[in-house]
Homo-oligomer: A and B are copies of this chain.
């Protein structure tokens, strides 16, 4: 018996990847990992949450592994887009851009405990799944180099010379990763306000004259 009404495929979209069911399954995967962990995420649960049959989920993504990989790619793209929007905003000066970056990195959309749990689940498998590693490494490279360029502009406008742009950007990115992890342990103590404050204080200590790093 076919309970669900048939989903109409859009012939314009040659790429399967954009169909409704495809995205429903990816969303359900992320939700399931967030709620139960990667180890306890089964195709049956994901399919149930996405309201399709178990067989369909597998058929659609060819394998569970591929479904997980697609979900990681989706998360990675989501993060990239939010970051990219800030860099493309021509109304921002370097300081404003850094502040937006910090605020984005600890926004409720990006740094929710659920999403962090999903990220860390994938991180934990990076050593064993080359495909995960590739995505995470590429992501890292992009943000490292973009952040470094941004700090270079910032240093150019100030008399800060002791720390190199590379050092500042690596320190920033490490702090973000570390704080995200700590949100997992204790989301109350490591509130978004606390994390943003800590990082702004770091920048304030470097660029003492800049009043916008509260």
- Interface on A for B, CB 8 Å cutoff? 36-40, 113, 117, 120-121, 123-128, 133, 136-137, 140, 162-163, 167, 170-171, 173-179, 181-182, 184-186, 198, 201-202, 204-206
Copies of the polypeptide in the assembly: 2
Among B38, B127, B185, point to the contact of A140 (Cβ < 8 A): B185
Among B36, B140, B185, point to the contact of A128 (Cβ < 8 A): B36
For A180, give the chain B residue with the smallest CB separation. Answer: B178
Among B113, B163, B176, B202, point to the contact of A127 (Cβ < 8 A): B113
B175 touches A124 (CB 8 A): no
For A208, give the chain B residue with the smallest CB separation. Answer: B162
Contact partners of A128 in chain B: CB under 8 A: 36-37, 40
The 5 A-B pairs at the shortest CB distance, nearest first, are namely A174-B178, A177-B178, A178-B178, A124-B124, A37-B128
For A128, give the chain B residue with the smallest CB separation. Answer: B37
For A139, give the chain B residue with the smallest CB separation. Answer: B185
B185 touches A181 (CB 8 A): no
Contact partners of A173 in chain B: CB under 8 A: 178, 182
| Min distance, Cβ A107 to any Cβ of chain B, angstroms | 18
A185 to B134 alpha-carbon distance, docked (Å) = 9
For A36, give the chain B residue with the smallest CB separation. Answer: B128
A140 touches B37 (CB 8 A): no
| Min distance, Cβ A164 to any Cβ of chain B, angstroms | 9
A195 to B10 alpha-carbon distance, docked (Å) = 51
Contact partners of A204 in chain B: CB under 8 A: 162
Among B113, B120, B175, B205, point to the contact of A175 (Cβ < 8 A): B175
